[in-house]
Amino acid sequence: MENNIQVQVSSEIGELEAIIVHTPGQEVENMTPNNAERALYSDILNLAVAHAEYSQFKGVLEKHAKVFEMRDLLTDILKIETVKADFINEIFHFEKIHESKDYLMNLEPHELTRQLIEGVKMKKDNLTRFFDKDRYSIQPLHNFFFMRDASMAINKNILLGKMASPVRDRETRIMEAIFKHHPNFISNTINPIRYDNVSPETSIEGGDVLVARKDILVIGTGVRTSSQGIDFILDQVKNRGNVKHIIIQELPHSPESFIHLDMVFTFLDKNKCMVYDPVIMRPNKYRTVHIEIDNGKVKIKTVPNLLIILKQLGIDLEPVICGGVGGDPWTQEREQWHSGANFFAVGPGKVIGYERNVYTMNEMNKHGFEIIKARDVLKNKVNLSDYDKYVLTIEGSELARGGGGARCMSMPIRRKPITW
């Protein structure tokens, strides 16, 4: 499955066939405590440890699906001179860069890819640049290993993100270029920045967009995805025929662990989901809204919670509680903070999560999931075909400190259909 892959993602849990990832590189360490906040980090990561943990994640993905590295895909398309020129012109226009276009155009594709991701060092060749305290004329993409946000597959379409922070805009441009120009993929791309009527308040990030079923989207709105962003999605889907329902979940604006819906709610199986109880299940001020689309007409109403409306639409989910049922609220908060609700499914009932969230893992086990260490799978100590339902646990002492989990780090592009 190398060439002409038709993008098709019509659920969160269909058996995974193809996925794009980005192994974190030097861009993660091209950061200091002084610029970490601008880079959307609360701390700086140890690349060697993060890389080792990520290797477990990528390794178990490769046991289930074809895995593409974003860096390789970008290098491939930058070998096409017209694509290379157009892409460089694009980022110069939007990022207002003070750098030599000729310098970038003369770089070999592999080296250009490296610098576009890891940062282009500023040449201190005039007084203004000499005085500039920044090291880079083109900033590193510190967040790019969280592949989920810049692009998302919805049925046969690729929706590009409109990132809440400009420091991530180049991620979206890279993903758009890959899906437009790489021969491996067939898809229709939808990019909000290409529409004249999109308001400045529009923001969309993939961590907030979940494909429950081919006709149902579940979308979070908070600090990263705005109501205007959801209105853009609504405008795109209401005349396309497939999506009939959009369920909106309001999210807290703080702490930062609530940045996306998939930090409090993810699908695990045809009949199970992971929830952070205080936001998803308990009465609170965060509304759940059902948007129904019927022949281009829209009806909007408030509903009790996500699970109730999903059940009414034919998806009956048993909640698994992040941090454990009836557990210490501090434990629940602690595990949610470390992406305890953020699971990625490689198939129905077959998911990946962080080993460190032990109370959540115990709760998963109570619901019939075998807990299997990723390192044991990679050492061939475990035969996954022996199990119907499992959690593959990856070490996450460093990756979790970046503010995301397994779903955040993945960009699935093809899944097998689910029969509900």
Are 124 and 53 found together in one domain? no
Contact 54, 24 (CB under 8 A): yes
Whole-Å CA distances, 278 to 58, 208, 307, 405: 32, 18, 14, 20
b/e burial code for range 124-155 (CB count within 10 A of at least 16 → b): eeeeeeeeeeeebbbbbbbbbbbbbbbbbbbb
Are 46 and 59 found together in one domain? yes
Are 217 and 108 found together in one domain? no
Are 27 and 169 found together in one domain? yes
Are 348 and 377 found together in one domain? yes
Other C-beta atoms closer than 10 Å to the C-beta of 326 total 8
Range of the domain at 306: 5-84+140-415
Are 193 and 243 found together in one domain? yes
Are 267 and 279 found together in one domain? yes
Query: Does a structural domain hold residue 306?
Result: yes
Give the model's pLDDT for residue 31: 64
Query: Does a structural domain hold residue 420?
Result: no
Least confident window among 162-166, 352-356, 400-404, 408-412: 400-404
Are 113 and 209 found together in one domain? no
Of 120, 138, 156, the domain-final residue: 138
The helix/strand/coil state of 114 is helix
Of 94, 116, 138, the domain-final residue: 138
Give the model's pLDDT for residue 106: 95
Query: Does a structural domain hold residue 107?
Result: yes
> In the structure encoding, which two tokens stand for residue 196, read together?
């004249």
Are 323 and 348 found together in one domain? yes
Report the domain count for the chain.
2
Are 121 and 263 found together in one domain? no
Domain containing 201 — which CATH number? 3.75.10.10
Could you read off the pLDDT of 216-275 as tens digits, one per residue? 999 999 999 999 999 999 999 987 879 999 999 999 988 888 999 999 999 999 999 999
pTM, full prediction: 0.95
Are 95 and 163 found together in one domain? no
- Give the pLDDT mean for 63-85: 97
Give the model's pLDDT for residue 20: 98
Of 95, 111, 138, the domain-final residue: 138
Are 107 and 10 found together in one domain? no
